[in-house]
Structure 1
Amino acid sequence: MSVRLRLILAIIIGLLVSGCSDDWGVDQHARKVTAGELEGQWLLINYWAEWCGPCRKEIPELNRLAQHPQAAVQVLGVNYDGVQGEALARQSQALGIEFRVLAEDPAERLQLPRSQALPVTFIVDPQGRLRKQLVGEQTEQGLLGVLAELREQP
């Protein structure tokens, strides 16, 4: 193999590997969550746990928000206890979660602080900046209001 061909292959492999590192892992259904699906969008990241009563009450509100046509936000869940794989799928289904649940915690990627209380919801703008941290149970209407306020601010 010529030096030129080896160099081209090395560049292609490097680009493929570096592109994969931008992905967000998989969701509760073991489907890949690509960076392209989430880049440049408003993100609402909700931390929940199976044992958290207010989390259970909040999930239907988040399901409605995720389906709301004017919300223009990606609703993502994260299991506070770090549950993975089949256990994550089972818990998500048992709680009736219809939005995407990330198997990998995006806290480091997005520089989100660790909350000592649940539920906690973070709103991240299309530039990847944390704009709001909401502790406690949220409603669809309340979150729509917060999103509208944040979108009006520079």
Structure 2
Amino acid sequence: MKKIYLFILFLIINFGGLALGNWFMGDAVASDWYNNLNKAPWTPPGWVFGAAWTVIMFCFSIYLTYLFSVRNSKFVMFVYAIAVLLNVCWNFLFFNQHFITWGFVNIILLTLVIIYFFITFRHDKLHSLKYLLLPYIIWLCIATSLNGYIVFNN
């Protein structure tokens, strides 16, 4: 029963973070500023972002449920809080403030934090569950390349 509550809690926090980030973003995707940026040729259509983040946060919530049921410590909570903060801050930096370079630094740090989860928190029960982080890692690599392209080509 504890796992169900943890899963619901992580769904609320993770999707709440996405909602907050979306609020910071506002209508920036439709703005002249964003539309006039030189974007990477591999930039996916807008609907892909929502679909990707839905899958990512669902998988991340499952992973966190098992991580926190096996290894619930202040340090794990701290690393998770950093991940949530970085995830929310990227939208604020990139879309709200137009700080594309700081957004690039932010997304690199977020990628490193999620990779840290993947390689650091090892436990027999988590061994195969860590692969739930792969969609997040792959997407962050794509997003980092998109952000980097904008930084270096605008």
Q: Please tell me the TM-score bracket, short chain as reference.
A: under 0.3
TM-score by length of 2: 0.24
The structure with the greater share of residues assigned to strand is 1
Q: Which has the higher contact order (CA 8 A, sep 6+)?
A: 2
Larger radius of gyration: 1
Question: Whose helix fraction is larger, Structure 1's or Structure 2's?
Answer: 2
Taking structure 1 as the reference length, what is the TM-score of the superposition? 0.24
